[in-house]
Chain A
Amino acid sequence: MAEARVIPIDGRPAPRRRPASESAQGSKRPDAVAHEPAVAADWERKVAGALAFVRRRITGDYAVDEFGFDADLNDNVLMALMRPLYDKWFRVETRGLDNIPDTGAALVVANHSGTVPLDSLMTQLALLDHHPARRHLRMLGADLVFQMPFIAPLARKSGATLACAPDAERLLSGGELVGVWPEGFKGIGKPFSERYKLQRFGRGGFVSAALRMGAPIIPCSIVGAEEIYPIIGNAKTLARILGVPYIPITPFFPLLGPLGAIPLPSKWIIEFGEPIDTSELGSAAADDPMLVFNLTDQVRETIQQTLYNLLIQRRSVFF
């Protein structure tokens, strides 16, 4: 991990969010007269930006792509709401960001855990705030996500779409960075005792999609998400009645009510691994089930090994 880029714990992402006046203050003591207008100008810019955003929202003056991705809302509101969680609560450290290309299609495949899919949101924010090209991760979500009221429109607005071959291939052929969590509900809703043990990787549909489009596969290992809501039980009957895959019981939920919905402040590491090139195999390889199975296994093993390595390096769950 020689190329690993370590973000300091208190490190707020430098680009865009640190105003010019603040960094100027740090490097050289500016005289008060020069400093005042700089702060005022920055404030003015912020106010104007916020007001313009509100006006755009009221008049519907923003663009939504054909998948329903609302970049204006995602970047200015949804991701902004996630930032404190990312920076202060989970203190996410990202590694191997240079494995993500600046342009063009790639498929990020990651492990899924944590009861609530915060890991996908954190991965999305990591790539938006810390990747030099500020890439949007377009996530592939399960059917259930798009059936649930409130969740369905939010998922689409944040750039997610249904995990199906046509959508994955359409996104990849459009040069997008696509994120997939092939363990699905099996991974996210597994008991705490099985933490960091990868579940079955679906049917390998994501590998076929990448092969067909010649997009590189980037294994991504996320450590820390397993501990945010440790599942010690599952209210199976209630889950069946409500038609959801699981109702988690954690040490604090539902015991402490809404307080139990606060995630534990575990320390997170998100590592993007070496890309697996699929362009040489050709799109016909997508129809070779043995090759698809082997490649799926290879990706799964890579993520599992990286998880074990990261767990050894981790000092404790919370620091």
Chain B
Amino acid sequence: MAADGVTPPRVVLVTGVSRYLGERLASILSDDPSIEQVIGVDVVPPRGDLGRTEFVRADIRNPIIAKVIASADVDTVVHMNVIATPLGAGGRSAMKEINVIGTMQLLAACQKAPSVRKLVVKSTSAVYGSSPRDPALYSEDMEPKALPRSGYAKDAVEVEGYVRGFGRRRPDVATTLLRFSNFIGPRIETPLTRYFALPVVPRVLGFDPRVQLIHEDDGVEVLRMAALENHAGTFNVGGAGVLLLSQAVRRAGRPSVPIVEPAVNLTGQLFRRAGLVDFSPEQLRFLEHGRAMDTTRLRTVFGYEPSYSTVEAFDDFVRGRSLRPYLPKRGLADIEATLGAVLTRRRTVGG
């Protein structure tokens, strides 16, 4: 699809390559013969097979990254190293450093490198926050009603700020900002996938948020298209439609337990300590008020229609993880048939 005068990238640099999405993107890009070289950067070596990707063990907080970009004549940078979970990063302060200082270093290096023509940044729908005063769907040009004040979402807001600054200073670089809704799928590991896999799913009493999801395959495809083609601008990326949290829990066949609102943060902390689910306070707010995005721009301007809707992506996750519902669907259908037969027979005999 490298049509209309767009030159395909020659050398692509992918940050955060040792995590699931980075690994998948790097291996897909390295399978593309039109790309000369794929360089993957991360602090830990990747576990999987990245094809002919050259792995550089470097910390993007370190100025080494500028040398890597300059020496390899990198023309496309895909920044996927904004991380959501403090546990994996070694604490919240380390996470903030990697996210914010790392992005600043990377963008500084890109700004100095004349070879860079394209920048793709993986951001998140969390930048819209989550509040009861939110419109039903956020489009790209709307301001959040309540700016996220902590954690990953705040980092992402700051990262986006630096990316916009970079866009002003290097208008010749096509900058693509992708705001992904929560990822889900049979293989990806996120706080949300661990949450739905809990034996009993805790929910906030009296609230039932709308949740929008994007399937991992769709996410990787959007990142690939953004790296190969020219799509400057900001795009919301999410599957069509929404699921209510209660509905999702039912579809997964999990029992849920209501938590009263004042105890939600405490419960979240307990789960974090126990290493079960690493939800930060603003993600807990998401479990209260939810969030959904308008993805018209993705479908019309960017030109991609996610192959999985939110519901289909979730069902694929349930199948892929083989989450076994406590009440099997077949059994329920049998109960329904039996109960129906009993009730109608009694009525016909009696009346």
Which residues of A approach B to under 8 Å, CB–CB?
A: 39-40, 43-44, 47-48, 51-52, 54-55, 57-68, 70, 143, 146-150, 152-153, 156-157, 161-162, 164, 166-167, 170
Contacts and interface: CB of A to CB of B under 8 A. Distances in A.
Contact of A66 (B205, B242, B247): B242
Given A43-B344, A66-B241, A166-B135, 10 more contacts: A39-B351, A40-B351, A58-B332, A59-B325, A59-B332, A60-B250, A65-B242, A66-B137, A156-B210, A167-B136
Interface string B168-209: 000000000000000000000000000000000000011110
B221 interface: no
Contacts of A150: 206
Interface in B302-338: 311, 325, 327, 329, 332-333, 336
A244 to B, nearest CB: 14
B133 interface: yes
Q: Which 5 A-B pairs have the closest CB atoms?
A: A149-B206, A60-B250, A153-B208, A60-B251, A146-B132
B71 interface: no
A131 to B, nearest CB: 24
Given A66-B242, A68-B210, A166-B142, A48 B132 contact: no
A152 B208 CA distance: 8
B329 A59 contact: yes
A68 B340 contact: no
A161 to B, nearest CB: 5
A162 B136 contact: yes
Given A60-B247, A153-B208, A170 B327 contact: no
Interface in B113-149: 132-137, 139, 142
Contacts of A149: 205-207, 261
A126 B41 CA distance: 62
B210 A52 contact: no
Contact of B250 (A58, A143, A156, A166): A58
Contacts of B248: 60
Given A39-B351, A48-B340, A55-B333, A70 B244 contact: yes
A51 B325 CA distance: 19
Contacts of A157: 208, 244
Nearest to A43: B347
Contacts, number: 106
14 contacts: A43-B351, A47-B340, A59-B251, A59-B329, A60-B249, A60-B250, A66-B137, A66-B210, A66-B242, A68-B136, A68-B242, A161-B136, A162-B135, A166-B137
Contacts of A146: 132-133, 289
A170 B134 CA distance: 14
Contacts of B274: none
B344 A40 contact: yes
Interface of B: 132-137, 139, 142, 205-208, 210, 241-244, 246-251, 253, 261, 289, 292, 311, 325, 327, 329, 332-333, 336, 339-340, 343-344, 347-348, 351
B207 A66 contact: no
Contact of A51 (B135, B243, B246, B336): B336
A50 to B, nearest CB: 9
A57 B134 CA distance: 27
Given A43-B347, A143-B133, A52 B336 contact: yes
B92 to A, nearest CB: 28
A315 B348 CA distance: 47
A62 B261 CA distance: 27
A52 B337 CA distance: 9
B135 A167 contact: yes
B54 to A, nearest CB: 43
Given A39-B351, A62-B247, A149-B261, A162 B340 contact: no
Nearest to B293: A66
A26 to B, nearest CB: 19
A64 B250 contact: no
Contact of B133 (A40, A51, A162, A170): A162
Nearest to B142: A166
A48 B338 CA distance: 11
A1 B327 CA distance: 56
A55 B135 CA distance: 32
